[in-house]
């Protein structure tokens, strides 16, 4: 780098500026054929290594562009993106997700692109409206490349867009007669009866009392907020013993209530509490308000974060326990023709029994263990296969989500996938990060091998059951493991419920 550049007022104030000039010059040389791309790659790598931990450039779009210029020319693009994520470079900016999702889309990795958009939306990256619009256009492009009545193989998987607005609107119209018959479904053509109905979401304040369908709800606070809805904790008639969750969504969205009522019909009674319970829904012309049971013990994401903040990984037996819970959930759902579609730790609520856990009942999930575990909520992206039989491949969205969660529990990092050589000389998709030698490596390898390499259209129920039973047998084979699990769950309950 020339001394005139490095000592200029601009470079002293902004050390990245001279690099930008040099990168521009190198890019021009590559385009004109004067130099090879290797020189540019080395320059980009050196720049990223120098400033990736510099807080001045953490939210600098110029530096993000440098990272993506390097990513686009790298065979190992996933590790480059991982480094961007780990150093929190522009994670609050929509361009991070737009650019990477577009890059994946061009490679035919449509499912991964969709998940990247979802990550950005869940983080409410700004400008949020721009990101929502980019995601909407992405879904429209995917829809145009597929036939409504068939699955088309592109790149890594089969993809049909079940969430396109026109598709969802058509489905709602189709099930409307059924919706009207559901217990707890209340609809009106009027707007929500508020003096400021367009902004009432923001005006929900603590202890404010609102009337919904003739019932009084006292708002106790915001329990969660996403790109499409807000969830409030509320008491019915100011009774602290009757606490519910109010999910307020604009525009109104009745399909989630349909999913809850289908869960009521299809899930066995002894497992029903593991999938969230909806009491009623009120449909207005400008919004919908879904009234659900409220669970106060946090999410699986909270559990994972409790280990991340102290620089530790979750103990293997606890990882395995939650993996068993998730396998059982997906086994149950997929066997009755239901796909969740947004399987992530934020949507998995923690449940605890009213009494201490006993030594018996773990394997059969009876006694105190029947109320211990996880509860899957947020069914807004759920798929009812009885209505859309051509979307069976989307079971993989659930199982891929499970693998991502397991990887986070084991390693405290997002999952990256490599193609690794298999025993038969072929290749299989596997996580890049190695398993620790003192873990039960065979069980973890079996889980990732089967779930990351399954055929897109196959029924995965038997696979999920087999994996679950293998892990249950391992934990039950050693009383010390059961004791350790009980101890960890008790400690977790005290820690999270008091925080």
Name the β-bridge partners of 76.
Answer: none
Q: How far is 82 from 116, CA to CA, in rounded Å?
A: 12
Residue appearing with tokens 């979750």: 314
Cβ atoms 420, 430 nearer than 8 A = yes
Helix, strand, coil % over all residues of the chain, rounded to 5: 50, 15, 35
End-to-end CA distance of the chain: 52
Active site residue 342: yes
Kind and range of the H or E run holding 475: helix 461-476
Counting beta carbons within 10 angstroms of the beta carbon of residue 444, is it exposed (0 to 12), middle (13 to 18) or buried (19 or more)?
Answer: buried
- Strand 288-293 to 338-339 pairing: unpaired
Given the residues 60, 183, 237, 342, the one annotated as active site: 342
- Strand 229-236 to 348-351 pairing: unpaired
Helices 37-51 and 16-32 pack at an angle, to 10 degrees, of 160
Could you give the 3-state DSSP secondary structure of residue 21? Answer: helix
Nearest to 247 by CA among 195, 199, 212: 212
Find the length of the chain.
499
Name the β-bridge partners of 429.
Answer: 419
Which residues are tagged catalytic? 342
């Amino acid at each position: 780098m020339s001394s005139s550049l490095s000592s200029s007022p601009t470079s002293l104030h902004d050390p990245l500026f001279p690099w930008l000039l040099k990168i521009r010059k190198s890019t021009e040389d590559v385009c004109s054929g004067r130099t090879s791309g290797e020189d540019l790659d080395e320059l980009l790598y050196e720049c990223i290594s120098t400033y990736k931990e510099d807080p001045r450039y953490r939210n600098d779009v110029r530096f993000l562009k440098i990272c993506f210029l390097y990513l686009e020319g790298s065979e190992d693009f996933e590790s480059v993106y991982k480094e961007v994520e780990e150093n929190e470079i522009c994670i609050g900016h929509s361009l991070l997700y737009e650019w990477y999702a577009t890059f994946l889309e061009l490679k035919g990795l449509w499912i991964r692109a969709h998940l990247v958009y979802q990550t950005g939306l869940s983080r409410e990256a700004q400008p949020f409206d721009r990101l929502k619009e980019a995601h909407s256009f992405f879904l429209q492009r995917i829809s145009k490349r597929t036939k409504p009545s068939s699955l088309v193989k592109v790149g890594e998987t089969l993809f049909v867009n079940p969430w396109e607005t026109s598709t969802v609107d058509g489905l709602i119209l189709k099930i409307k007669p059924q919706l009207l018959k559901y217990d707890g479904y209340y609809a009106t053509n009027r707007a929500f009866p508020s003096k400021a109905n367009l902004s009432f979401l923001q005006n929900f304040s603590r202890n404010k009392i609102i009337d919904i369908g003739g019932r009084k709800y006292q708002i106790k606070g915001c329990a969660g907020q996403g790109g499409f809805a807000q969830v409030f904790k509320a008491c019915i008639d100011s009774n602290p013993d009757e606490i519910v969750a109010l999910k307020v969504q604009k525009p109104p969205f009745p399909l989630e209530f349909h999913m809850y009522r289908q869960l009521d019909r299809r899930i066995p009674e002894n497992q029903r509490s593991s999938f969230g319970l909806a009491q009623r829904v009120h449909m207005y012309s400008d919004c919908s308000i879904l009234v659900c049971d409220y669970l106060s013990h946090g999410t699986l994401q909270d559990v994972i974060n409790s280990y991340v903040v102290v620089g530790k990984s979750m103990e293997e037996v606890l990882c395995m326990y939650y993996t068993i819970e998730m396998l059982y959930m997906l086994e149950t759902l997929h066997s009755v023709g239901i796909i969740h579609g947004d399987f992530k730790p934020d949507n998995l609520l923690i449940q605890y029994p009213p009494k201490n856990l006993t030594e018996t009942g773990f394997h059969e999930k009876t006694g105190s263990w029947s109320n211990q575990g996880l509860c899957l909520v947020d069914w807004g992206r759920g798929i009812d296969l009885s209505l859309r039989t051509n979307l069976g491949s989307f079971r993989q969205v659930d199982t891929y989500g499970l693998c991502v969660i397991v990887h986070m529990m084991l390693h405290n990092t997002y999952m990256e996938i490599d193609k690794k050589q298999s025993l038969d000389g072929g290749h299989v998709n596997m996580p890049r990060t190695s398993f620790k030698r003192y873990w039960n490596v065979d069980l973890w390898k079996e889980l990732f091998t089967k779930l990351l390499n399954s055929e897109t259209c196959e029924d995965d129920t038997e696979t999920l059951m087999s994996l679950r039973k293998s892990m249950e047998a391992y934990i039950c084979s050693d009383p010390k493991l059961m004791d350790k699990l009980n101890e960890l769950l008790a400690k977790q309950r005290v820690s999270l419920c008091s925080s």
